[in-house]
């Protein structure tokens, strides 16, 4: 009997139009740089740019002490479920070492970045789980267990399935006993082929060792591809169905925005494509004190697109761009951004 693990169905719940088969695709939430909780290094400024396909951030840090401070600066991606990759489309390129083409500079000079791959068994899937929890509690680390069995940390699930199926029977039994994979013999007489399910997720972690000189400022910038989830999207005004009111609350879709989405999607009977961009802002609170000067630039990608998010002080600065400025800012919530675009003609 076909038994797709529960986590594999997460993509189908991203967007209401997922009642149409294979109309949703998964993606990644985004976050800023992590550093051990410190009272020594203050974030004087953060200049954050978010678009559907790119994220750029420039920080100015100051060492407030009279001694150098050295530590690891870390940029993690959230867990990528191999079950999910087996059963759903995902907004990712083919597997490559630097999956999102992450680059970093310090005072304008490129820095070499180490890329780690870690395997985890994620907690049971929960609807509306905050993106920050994917970073705070990603799951049980099983990297060493997979290495012991000679299993690569790849995102190429087709090649991985071939590797698992070629393992000796005793190794496959051990993987199943350890909760790392599930194997089903199938029933050829009933037209049911064998199935192999890797149960772990892959985390990519970019990091480098950084010294913050005593009493001085340091500018760190990084840039990478944005890979948000999305899918077909349906909207009518007024939005009265439960899922629609839930979206309205999550993305602060007010009456004017609701009317705008409905009008923009009307030529296709209310159908369009939507992207759900999430950015974990609260990692900034690991640095000393509030962000002195915070600027967020949002680019919705095309003039015909509509953007909605829960934020105060949003100002339109161009045909596709919007800006938020804050002083002495301590983020108390993360960003959830909805970008709706009409179907291609």
pLDDT computed for residue 19 by the predictor: 34
Report the run of H or E that residue 322 belongs to, with start and end.
strand 321-329
pLDDT computed for residue 10 by the predictor: 33
Indicate whether 280 belongs to any domain.
yes
Largest CA distance in the chain: 75
**For residue 178, is pLDDT > 90?**
yes
Strand extents, DSSP E, 111-193: 114-121, 140-141, 181-184
DSSP class of residue 95 equals -
Q: Are 253 and 262 in contact (CB under 8 A)?
A: no
Please, which pLDDT band fits residue 2 given cuts at 50, 70 and 90?
A: very low
Strand extents, DSSP E, 163-216: 181-184, 195-198, 201-212
Domain span at residue 277 reads 6-142+200-342
Residue-wise pLDDT tens digits, 46-103: 999 999 999 999 999 999 999 999 999 999 999 999 999 999 899 999 999 999 999 9
Which residue is it, tokens 């697109």?
305
- C-alpha 52/C-alpha 229 separation (Å) is 10
**Nearest CA-CA partner of 233 in 247, 252, 215, 212:** 247
pLDDT computed for residue 192 by the predictor: 79
Indicate whether 324 belongs to any domain.
yes
**For residue 139, is pLDDT > 90?**
yes
CATH of the domain at 294: 2.60.40.3680
**Residues of the chain above pLDDT 90, percent:** 78
Q: Looking at the 3D structure of the chain, how many domains does it have? A: 1
**For residue 123, is pLDDT > 60?**
yes
Indicate whether 16 belongs to any domain.
yes
**For residue 162, is pLDDT > 90?**
yes
- C-alpha 75/C-alpha 120 separation (Å) is 17
Indicate whether 72 belongs to any domain.
yes
pLDDT computed for residue 282 by the predictor: 81
Indicate whether 247 belongs to any domain.
yes
Q: Are 77 and 203 in contact (CB under 8 A)?
A: yes
Indicate whether 157 belongs to any domain.
no
pLDDT computed for residue 219 by the predictor: 98
What region, left, alpha or beta, does residue 110 occupy, with left being phi > 0 and alpha being psi -120 to 50 degrees? beta
**For residue 12, is pLDDT > 70?**
no
Please, which pLDDT band fits residue 244 given cuts at 50, 70 and 90?
A: very high
Indicate whether 31 belongs to any domain.
yes
Indicate whether 188 belongs to any domain.
no
Residue-wise pLDDT tens digits, 184-219: 987 777 777 889 999 999 999 999 999 999 999 999
CA angle 154, 156, 161 (to 5 degrees): 95
pLDDT computed for residue 11 by the predictor: 35
Residue 153's CB: how many other CB atoms inside 10 A?
A: 17
């Amino acid at each position: 009997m076909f038994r797709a693990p529960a986590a594999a169905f997460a993509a189908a719940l991203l967007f209401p139009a997922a009642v149409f088969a294979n109309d949703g695709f998964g993606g990644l939430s985004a976050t800023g740089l992590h550093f051990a909780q410190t009272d020594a290094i203050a974030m004087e400024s953060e200049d954050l740019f978010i678009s559907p396909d790119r994220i750029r951030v420039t920080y100015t840090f100051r060492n407030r002490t009279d001694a150098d401070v050295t530590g690891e600066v870390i940029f993690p991606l959230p867990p990528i479920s191999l079950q999910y990759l087996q059963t759903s489309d995902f907004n990712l390129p083919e597997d490559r070492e630097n999956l999102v083409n992450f680059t970093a500079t310090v005072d304008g000079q490129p820095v070499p970045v180490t890329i780690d791959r870690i395997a985890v068994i994620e907690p049971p899937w929960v609807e509306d789980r905050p993106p920050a929890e994917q970073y705070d509690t990603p799951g049980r680390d099983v990297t060493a267990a997979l290495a012991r069995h000679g299993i690569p940390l790849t995102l190429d699930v087709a090649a991985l399935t071939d590797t698992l199926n070629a393992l000796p029977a005793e190794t496959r039994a051990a993987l199943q006993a350890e909760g790392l994979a599930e194997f089903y013999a199938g029933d050829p007489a009933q037209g049911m082929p064998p199935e192999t399910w890797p149960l772990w997720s892959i985390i990519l972690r970019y990091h480098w060792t950084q010294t913050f000189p005593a009493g001085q400022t340091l500018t760190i910038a990084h840039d990478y591809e944005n890979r948000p989830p999305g899918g077909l999207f349906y909207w009518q005004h007024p939005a009265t169905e439960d899922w629609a009111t839930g979206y309205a609350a999550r993305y602060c879709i007010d009456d004017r925005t609701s009317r705008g989405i409905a009008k923009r999607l009307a030529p296709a009977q209310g159908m369009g494509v939507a992207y759900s961009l999430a950015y974990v802002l609260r990692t900034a609170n690991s640095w000393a004190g509030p962000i002195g000067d915070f600027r967020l630039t949002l680019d919705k990608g095309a003039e015909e697109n509509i953007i909605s998010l829960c934020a105060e002080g949003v100002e339109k600065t161009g045909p596709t761009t919007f800006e938020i400025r804050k002083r002495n800012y301590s983020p108390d919530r993360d960003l959830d951004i909805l970008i709706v675009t009409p179907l291609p003609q």
